[in-house]
Amino acid sequence: MIVFDHVSKTYPNGYQALKDINLTIEQGEFVAIIGLSGAGKSTLIRTINRMHDITDGTLTVDGVNVMELKGARLRQFRRNIGMIFQSFNLVTRTTVIKNVLTSRVPELPFWRALLGAYPKKDKLEALEALDKVGILDKAFVRADQLSGGQQQRVALARTLAQNPKIILADEPVASLDPVTAKQVMDDFRRINREMNISVLINIHHVDLALQYADRVIGIKAGEVVYDGPASEVNEAVLAEVYGGQFEAGV
């Protein structure tokens, strides 16, 4: 369970990205976060794994106060939270399976990490993760030979190899064509349902948010202006979230 209790975030330059956020996200939910660029969507999800620190309020994950974590405890906490970016963040000059195996590096003895000597168990788990996203046949292909959609699936497999409880995705399909974007969203939804992993996706494509998510959170100027079932999002809600620009967000 993720709980935002009167959470705010102000950057050093004085910009307030989040304003008094109160949210509770249960384990296994599929949540889409929508809003204009600069509304605070990315900041919201990045506070969950402490990529950004909050400045007011309390943020807890499974009862743990995120802001109290330091050092080894923070690193271990982050192992339970996968993060996927728009830009894939792959090492493109190496193979797909080696990219997936990088998720295991924090748990390896130094000499194994240095030599890339991964245990057989880790290799099998990496192959299983690739199989779950439908690209097992690409395991020994260089990442730079894959399409954008395939590269995002590698990023998702790398995250699955962490055995996370939560997956955070920051615009994961923004750079993909519509057909490929739906294929990747299919992967997210299947993993969410089959593995009971909480999925929080910051997404510009409202049509995909409504098609795939169970719950939609609309953010405007750092404030939550809608939080409810995807099935109840209508033009009035979109007008509230996007203002006069809501058609551009659909």
At 249 the pLDDT is: 42
Using the predicted structure, report yes or no on whether residue 206 has a pLDDT greater than 80: yes
At 244 the pLDDT is: 66
Using the predicted structure, report yes or no on whether residue 218 has a pLDDT greater than 50: yes
CB-CB contact of 245 with 43 (8 Å): no
Using the predicted structure, report yes or no on whether residue 8 has a pLDDT greater than 70: yes
Using the predicted structure, report yes or no on whether residue 205 has a pLDDT greater than 70: yes
Mean pLDDT (whole number) for 45-71: 94
At 127 the pLDDT is: 92
At 109 the pLDDT is: 57
Residues 6+ positions from 50 with CB-CB distance below 8 Å: 66, 67, 69, 74, 77, 78
Using the predicted structure, report yes or no on whether residue 108 has a pLDDT greater than 80: no
| % of the chain at pLDDT higher than 90 | 68
- Look at 199 and 118; give whichever has higher pLDDT: 199
At 110 the pLDDT is: 62
CA angle 103, 205, 250 (to 5 degrees): 170
At 225 the pLDDT is: 95
Q: What is the pLDDT of residues 157-201, one digit of tens each?
A: 999 988 899 999 999 998 889 998 999 999 999 999 999 999 999
Give the confidence band of 121 by pLDDT, cuts at 50, 70, 90: confident
Tokens of 13: 């330059």
Give the confidence band of 248 by pLDDT, cuts at 50, 70, 90: very low
Tokens of 15: 């910009």
Using the predicted structure, report yes or no on whether residue 246 has a pLDDT greater than 80: no
Residues 6+ positions from 194 with CB-CB distance below 8 Å: none
Using the predicted structure, report yes or no on whether residue 111 has a pLDDT greater than 90: no
At 186 the pLDDT is: 93
What is residue 29's three-state secondary structure? Answer: coil
At 92 the pLDDT is: 83
Q: What residues does 142 pair with on adjacent strands? A: 95
Of residues 26, 22, 32, the one with CA closest to residue 1: 26
Record the pTM. 0.88
At 140 the pLDDT is: 94
Give the confidence band of 107 by pLDDT, cuts at 50, 70, 90: low
Average pLDDT of the chain, as a whole number:
89
